Structure 1
Amino acid sequence: MPEPTAPSSRGAIDLAAFKTPQPEPIHGTADAGAPTWVRSVNQELFPEIVALSQQVPVIVSLGSPRSPASVQLDATLASLVDAKGGTLALATVDAEAEPAIAQAFQVTQVPAVIALVNGQPVPLFQGSAEVSQIQSLIEELLGLGVQHGVAGTIAPLGTTAGATAPAPLPPLHQEALDAIESGDLPAAENAYKQALNEKPNDNDAAIGLNQVRLLMRTQDKDLAAVRAAGAANPDDLAAQLDVADMDLIGGHVEDAFSRLVGFIGRHAGDEKEAARARLVELYSVVGVADQRVVASRQKLARVLF
């Protein structure tokens, strides 16, 4: 577990960028009426969360409601945090709706999970993680809080009674999320494919399918070996696709895009089309409205036409 970042570091939060906090609805995952230490955070509310981190460690989950991985991760985090009974809190952030918060943490890919200890950021992980890994990180975070005098217990941030229940997912989408949670990625892939067979214009299913396929392609890959193969074989399609996948999973979004755009510009025929198709998939995973996707599409257009 890294030490909290010093106030003058690049990762420090600039409170001047945020306004006076206003009340925000509480969103939790417990039964109706149960206490919760989970709060959905926007830019106006963020200073309150930073102040709260002077009493207990606060986990900040930056994600997207369009990302099945983000939705599932937030549910897992909420359950684990609420089980601690006020020794820490969880702030969930829609990174697309609140880009200022994502930029303050220098987040380049969601889901991303960071902690605040006494107002200072502590990176935890990006992407998905096993429940056992998250539990271990929570214990380390609580220990870090003790070291820095942030080891209190806070009252619930609210109850789930007033929370707005999210609309239920379509059955096949829920089946896919359940499969992801259990680690059965092929079953999740099949569920999303069936959803698309039934409704070809199901954009959420298409995004979910691309996300699952990315996880399947990278789950057993060794980063060092993939990077070495990519460096040694700059014109090998499979090697470059593998590096791009690993870059995206690791949060190096622009590097992944630039690598494939460069490959497309140097090649023709089937290899060029395969690289273009993979790049479009990765655009979907990141989000077509993301400015990095917009910039990369412009570069892609130049090498294609």
Structure 2
Amino acid sequence: MRGLPILLLSLALSVFVECQDNIPDVSLTPNMLSVNEGEEANFTCSPLLEEAPALLNTRNPGASQSQSIQNDDSRIRVTDISNNDTGNVTRMRVFTWINPILENDHRREFFCQIGSFESNTAILFVNHAPDITIGGETEFTVIAGATLNVSITVDGWPEPTLTWTRDGARVDLTLSKSGLSLPSVSLDDAGIYTLNATNAMSSDTGSFTVIVRSLPVFEVGDDARVSIRVGAEVVVNCAANAFPPISPDNITLTLDGKELELDSNFVHTIASAQTSDAGDYVCTATNELATESVTITVEIGNVPDK
């Protein structure tokens, strides 16, 4: 009786080893395949078991859930073949993915399932020409200083090389997954933007226009104070930039409520200043967006020469 447990253990191990030997080594080949869009992609699953059909499953990269591709799926053609090159007949099933277009996803993972047994994972890459999609409008209007976000997606495999131009001149811009972001837009950012995407298959271009609207901004900047001596020249600059542009009639200069004359460059010049010319000179500019003003305080006296 003492040897019975040993005998039972030996039998159990024998059955376990035999069961292990009967577990099929299911494989899906090739492990990795790259085809051009529209070409057929062939994966071979082997060996077949008499009692269990081979099914092809797919999952998105990184996803745990898989989706079975039925043998009658219009995208798949199934062929059973036998391979006896080595003298041993091995039944295999070939799955042909017809005209693989992966709906803007160039990569797909497959595995073969025979009964409860799963094969290795095989990866299909589909090479296709770049495709640029610009969401929403093709003309964007933004106020200077604001951030402009443009939804742009670029599809294609191999990954396309991207180049940007603005009004035909190369510019360095970075496209994120969500699109293009232009922070603190200025008048210099206005223009026609063109994105070119190129890979080994082909190329594609997409364009949009950026219009920057700006409140009047004076060249002198903020309010200023200047001190000069009697007899010196006084120059008051009221030039301002804006979009839409400011008409000449909408830039004025006043001193104590009296409007003064400006030249074609919106400059007022006093050749020889007197104490009566001292005061607060107010430049005012108006466009469609707003009216802005800046004050230049002029002090005139016996200021030493520098």
User: In which range does the TM-score fall when normalised by the shorter chain?
Assistant: under 0.3
Which structure has greater helix proportion? Answer: 1
TM-score, scaled to structure 2: 0.22
Higher fraction of strand: 2
